[in-house]
Amino acid sequence: MGKQLFDEVIGTPPPSRVDVAAIVRRERHRRTALRAAGAATAVLAVVVSAGMLQQVRGPQSEAPQAQASSSVVTPHGFRLAAEDRRSAEATAATLRGVLDEAVHRVVPQATWFRQDVDGHPPADGEPPVLIGSEKTAKADQPFAGGTGIAATGRRGVLTLQVLSTRPCADPSNPKCAQENENPELEQQRRDELLLTCQPPVKDCADGTGVDGRRYLAQTVPGDGGEVTHEARLQLADRRVLTLRVSNLVAAGGGKAGVAQAGTPVSRDQLGEVAALVGARILP
Amino acid sequence: MTRGDDREFHEFVEARMDRWRRSAYLMCQDWHTADDLVSIAVTKVYRHWRDVRRADNPEAYAQKILTRSWLNERRRPWRREWPAERLPDRPDAVPDRVTDRESLGRLLQSLGPRQRAVLILRFYYDYSAEQTAEMLQVSVGTVKSQTARGLRTLRLSADSLRG
């Protein structure tokens, strides 16, 4: 196998789309923003500490209601926007905060611990780092991530995925031609595949909620006592949110093994978390 | 990053851009994705510029970043394929020579991502088994076995293409 063969595969490269100047500009902005965020966090820490100090000192002060929170989540809903990289990252960060909040509302004692699910492991105590992609067509952008979760003495991994069931929309892509003959039918077929119980999984329930959105909850047993609960929910923008929790834990970057018989979050709890997250996502 | 660092970074990237694009294309066989991968790698090289500069072999360090970026991208959920009821059509014409550009591309695509990366690093860029192992963060034995398996798969695929 020679270099010439590889060069034949490569052919003549088209003009490069790699914009090094833009990358450097974006990275400089990012660094500036990180520095600013670091300064803001320090100020917030001082304010919260001062507030706590006042509380300890006595009743003459009005006790501040500040709560330590790593994520700022608006009380109303948000769109899964990902028009560009910055927007995708902002949405992923909001979704991360919403997931964290929902998990702790349903399982107050839950704690996160570091597990490398997709090459972006968060630190211990931090919720999953969710990655959004702006590279696919608008309204199709997926979001995904996961990390370790512990509750009631059990440990496992919790992952989140948002996927589109829309057929590919690029008419210049020959692979899309067949799907585009009847995109609605194709999307229905994909919805069926994701949101209807499939025969191989015995412990499964699907249906339509009072809000008209479809859901599916299933338990998939694996080898050697592995258990995975899965909750899928059709979102307002017709994408599908999937939450999974397993009883698998990887130690020291090695192969994942069963931590205990049960999962740290039950299937019903996972469904509640999915409902809370899904309720915040706007069309 | 100082202005001197900045200039050095730009020179480093410019000198290797063609090489990285070729390497990325061999891995993913799509120029659009290849440029995305190179952009990701350039971003990472910029973030870790001091480490790259200090490395014994900055060239290999940057190549490692690019290769690992591709392998990581492949693991993302949206890169996984949808289940299909129908298999794609077979090619209309069976190439009579496996040195045809398209047939070579198909042969490479028949390999797993890591095997493909091993063959590209070893046979296109002449990295040693040790260097390749370091880049892919696997053992030298794994590189050797992946090389042997990759070559065997290529030979089998080439035979089947020839009919």
Residue contact B77–A144, C-beta within 8 A: yes
Residue contact B101–A17, C-beta within 8 A: no
CA A88 → CA A81, A95, A136, B84, distances in Å?
A: 6, 10, 11, 29
- Taking a C-beta distance cutoff of 8 angstroms, is the pair A115, A249 a contact? yes
> Which residues from chain A sit within 8 angstroms of residue B101, using beta carbons?
8-9, 11
Residue of B nearest to A144 (CA): B77
**Going by C-beta distance under 8 Å and a sequence separation of 6 or more, which residues neighbour residue A29?**
none
* Model confidence band, residue A35 (pLDDT cutoffs 50, 70, 90): low
- Calculate Rg over the CA atoms of chain B: 18
> Which residues from chain B sit within 8 angstroms of residue A144, using beta carbons?
76-78
Dihedral pair phi/psi, residue A151, rounded to 5°? -160, 145
Q: Determine the Cα angle at A269 with ends A268 and A274, to 5°.
A: 95
Residue contact B29–A9, C-beta within 8 A: yes
Residue contact A193–B99, C-beta within 8 A: no
> Which residues from chain A sit within 8 angstroms of residue B25, using beta carbons?
10, 13
- Amino acid identity at A28: R
Lowest mean pLDDT among A59-68, B21-30, B150-159: A59-68
DSSP for residue B124 = I
Dihedral pair phi/psi, residue A158, rounded to 5°? -115, 130
Lowest mean pLDDT among A46-50, A195-199, B126-130: A46-50
Question: Is A57 at the interface with chain B, CB within 8 A?
Answer: no
> Which residues from chain A sit within 8 angstroms of residue B76, using beta carbons?
118, 131, 133, 144
Residue contact B26–A119, C-beta within 8 A: no
pLDDT in tens, A218-243: 998 887 888 999 999 999 888 899 99
Residue contact B124–A163, C-beta within 8 A: no
CA B21 → CA A196, B34, B37, distances in Å?
A: 43, 6, 8
The pair of structure tokens assigned to A126 is 């931090």
Instruction: List the 130-189 stretch of A: residues with Cβ below 8 A of B.
Output: 131, 133, 135-136, 142, 144, 161, 163
User: Is beta strand A281-282 parallel, antiparallel or unpaired with respect to A78-79?
Assistant: parallel
Question: Is A6 at the interface with chain B, CB within 8 A?
Answer: yes
Size of interface A-B (CB pairs under 8 A): 84
Query: Domain B100-163 belongs to what topology?
Result: Arc Repressor Mutant, subunit A (1.10.10)
Q: Which residue has the higher pLDDT, B39 or B161?
A: B39
Dihedral pair phi/psi, residue A157, rounded to 5°? -125, 135
- Amino acid identity at A250: A
* Model confidence band, residue B17 (pLDDT cutoffs 50, 70, 90): very high
* Model confidence band, residue B38 (pLDDT cutoffs 50, 70, 90): very high
Report the pLDDT value the prediction gives residue A178, as an integer from 0 to 100.
61
Report the pLDDT value the prediction gives residue A33, as an integer from 0 to 100.
60
pLDDT in tens, A190-206: 788 888 888 777 888 88
CA A186 → CA A11, A171, A178, A181, distances in Å?
A: 36, 15, 9, 9
Domain that holds residue A178: 2-280
Query: Domain spans of chain B?
Result: 1-79, 100-163
> Which residues from chain B sit within 8 angstroms of residue A118, using beta carbons?
72, 75-77
Domain count of chain A?
Answer: 1
**Going by C-beta distance under 8 Å and a sequence separation of 6 or more, which residues neighbour residue B129?**
B122, B140, B143, B144, B147
A56 to chain B, closest Cα gap in Å: 43
> Which residues from chain B sit within 8 angstroms of residue A133, using beta carbons?
76, 78
SS3 A150: strand
pLDDT in tens, A119-167: 778 888 989 888 776 555 545 557 888 899 999 899 999 999 888 877 7
Taking the C-alpha atoms of residue B107 and residue B103, their distance in angstroms, rounded to an integer, is 6
Residue contact B154–A144, C-beta within 8 A: no
> Which residues from chain B sit within 8 angstroms of residue A1, using beta carbons?
119, 123, 151, 154
**Percent of chain A whose predicted confidence (pLDDT) is above 90:** 24
DSSP for residue A217 = E
**Percent of chain A whose predicted confidence (pLDDT) is above 70:** 73
- Taking a C-beta distance cutoff of 8 angstroms, is the pair A156, A245 a contact? yes
A100, A110, A239, A211 alpha-carbon torsion, rounded to 10°: -100
Report the pLDDT value the prediction gives residue A37, as an integer from 0 to 100.
46
Report the pLDDT value the prediction gives residue A90, as an integer from 0 to 100.
86
- Taking a C-beta distance cutoff of 8 angstroms, is the pair B107, B158 a contact? yes
Identify which of A158, A133, A164 has the alpha carbon closest to the alpha carbon of residue A264: A158
> Does domain B1-79 fall into CATH 1.10.1740.10?
yes
Report the pLDDT value the prediction gives residue A29, as an integer from 0 to 100.
74
Neighbours of A93 (CB within 10 A): 16
CA B64 → CA A11, A135, B133, distances in Å?
A: 24, 24, 10
pLDDT in tens, A76-128: 788 888 777 788 888 888 999 999 999 999 999 999 999 888 777 888 898 98
Residue of A nearest to B150 (CA): A1
